[in-house]
Amino acid sequence: MQYALLTYTAPDDTDRAARPIPDALAALLEQPSITGWARLHADGSATTLRNDDGRTLLTDGPFIDSKEYLAGLFLIEAEDLDGALAIAGQLLGQTRPGTAIEVRPVLEGRLRAA
């Protein structure tokens, strides 16, 4: 069963793009149960398109305006929610304080290399 892990991070004063993925986290990403991942630029880079009764509205910035922003996502394969939570817990252990990971079961989808 596939789960998506959505990672939310508090803003940091250092440049996110200049900060490499920590070695321990990079090692975790190699495990076969992680089938895909994406690290996102900070929310300042976001542009949002919204369907407003058929009209497309374009705004600068993220859709959800909160202190924490969506910083990345993982796709994982796990037996059940406990398995997914265990992987999410490992990943969370390699993040900065204040980070949150939302675990969502995947209904359907497709993954392929770009």
Partner 1 sequence: MPLDAVFRDHWGRVLATLAGTLGDLELAEDAAAEAFAVAAERWPRDGEPANPVGWLVTTARNRAIDQLRRRQVLTAKTALLARDLATGAQPPAEAEADVDDTAVIPDERLELIFACCHPALGLEAQVALTLRTLGGLSTEEIALAFLLPVETTSKRLTRAKRKIRDARIPLAVPPDDQLPDRLAAVLAVVYLIFNQGWGGGRVDLAAEAIRLGRALAGLRPDEPEVLALLALMLLHDARTAARFRDGQVVPLDEQDRAQWDAAQIDEGRALLARAMARPRPGPYLLQAAIADLHLQQPRDWRQIAALYEALARLTGSPVVEMNRAVAVAELDGPAAGLAILDRLDLEHYRYFHSTRASLLRRAGRHGEAHRAYQRALDLAQTEAEQRFLHDRLAETAP
Residues at the site binding partner 1, with contacts judged by CB under 8 A: 1, 79-82, 85, 103-105, 107
- CB nearer partner 1, residue 12 or residue 80: 80
The number of residues making up the chain comes to 114
The Cα–Cα gap between 26 and 24 comes to: 5
- CB nearer partner 1, residue 12 or residue 79: 79
Residue 67, helix vs strand vs coil: coil
Q: How far is the CB of 62 from partner 1 (least distance, A)?
A: 25
Q: How far is the CB of 25 from partner 1 (least distance, A)?
A: 23
Q: How far is the CB of 86 from partner 1 (least distance, A)?
A: 9
